[in-house]
Amino acid sequence: MECFGIVGAGMMGTDIAHLALSSGFRVVVCDCDAAQLDRARETLGARFRRYVAEGRFRQVEMDGLLSRLITERSIGALAECDMVLECVTEDRSVKMEVFRALDGAVKGGAILATNTSSISITRIASVTKRPESVIGMHFMYPARVMKLVELVCGLATTRETFESAKAIVRQFGKQFVESQDSPGFLLNRIFAPMINEAVFALYEGAGTAESIDKAMKLGTNVPLGPLELADMMGLDVVLAVIEVMFDEFGDPKYRPCPLLKKYVAAGYLGKKSGRGFYTY
């Protein structure tokens, strides 16, 4: 594989572009928002310049990396990519619309991957004429730092597609787990309800945000408390994941906390909006 495509130039898409560039790929990032594309390019440029200043890169290496980055608004720019990874909002209808477009735009034989953290790969693949080439590749944020990628096969995903995705994960210097195509997969099936329960504890006055996070960090030896992590992930993303699990399982244990829904409705989305359970 030589060309890696990304749909969505947000924080996750930008971080995965960083990984792909650093792994030697030519990278095409597509987003309908020109300002978002500009921010992604500026973020990567600033980060790589910092690496040069710190002695981690040479100037010529940085120039080589950025020369392989293409940013485009048209999905047609992804036509010759060997793999395209979708990194848009965690909304089933939006993702399925993207995959319909990718199916018509990207060359035959290419792998179409989704970074969804909860939505059925089989359902996403069903809107394409090549479900055998669709796979879930769930990166953790920040992708350039976190070691894990969940690989999720849909009902029709071939072993060849899975092996190609594994090779990409290893080229990125990451490790993988194979998860079943079940709502939330492995990580979020366990972790999203924990975040939701932490929000319920805050909602019911069982503790402050600080005390809840301190209890979990010192009591379970995790680097971030659940509310801190929710702010980093984006409360809208957390809510979307929990709502998918609630809808799919029909189990009241996945009922989203009213406080989480209220914060998202108010635009308190965490670090990216400047306010969530904490103020930034």
Question: Rounded CA gap, 245 and 11, in Å?
Answer: 24
For tokens 């099936």, what's the residue?
189
Fold of 187-271: N-(1-d-carboxylethyl)-l-norvaline Dehydrogenase; domain 2 (1.10.1040)
Q: What tens digit of pLDDT does each residue of 42-93 get? A: 999 999 999 999 999 899 999 999 999 999 999 999 999 999 999 999 999 9
The pLDDT value given to residue 63 = 93
The pLDDT value given to residue 122 = 98
The hierarchical CATH code for the domain 3-179 is 3.40.50.720
Asked if residues 203 and 253 have their Cβ atoms less than 8 Å apart, the reply is no
The pLDDT value given to residue 141 = 86
State the greatest distance between any 2 C-alpha atoms of the chain, in Å, as a whole number.
Answer: 56
Q: What tens digit of pLDDT does each residue of 243-274 get? A: 999 999 999 999 999 999 999 999 999 999 99
Domain chopping of the chain, boundaries: 3-179, 187-271
Asked if residues 98 and 7 have their Cβ atoms less than 8 Å apart, the reply is yes
The pLDDT value given to residue 189 = 94
Mean pLDDT for 189-207 is: 97
The pLDDT value given to residue 146 = 93
Q: What tens digit of pLDDT does each residue of 132-173 get? A: 999 999 999 889 999 999 999 999 999 999 999 999 999 999
The pLDDT value given to residue 45 = 95
Answer yes or no: pTM beyond 0.75: yes
Locate 150 and state its tokens: 């969940």
Residue 207 has pLDDT above 90, yes or no: yes
The total of other beta-carbon atoms located within 10 Å of residue 108's CB is: 7
User: Rounded to the nearest 10 degrees, how much is the dihedral formed by the CA atoms of 177, 8, 194, 217?
Assistant: 90
Confidence of residue 237 (pLDDT cuts 50, 70, 90): very high
The pLDDT value given to residue 57 = 87
Which residues are designated catalytic? 117, 138, 150, 188
Q: Kindly provide the residue ranges of all beta strands, DSSP E only, lying in the chain, ordered along the sequence.
A: 3-7, 26-30, 69-72, 83-86, 111-114, 134-139, 148-153, 175-179
The pLDDT value given to residue 271 = 95
Q: What 3-state DSSP class applies to 110? A: coil
Q: What tens digit of pLDDT does each residue of 10-55 get? A: 999 999 999 999 999 999 999 999 999 999 999 999 999 999 999 9
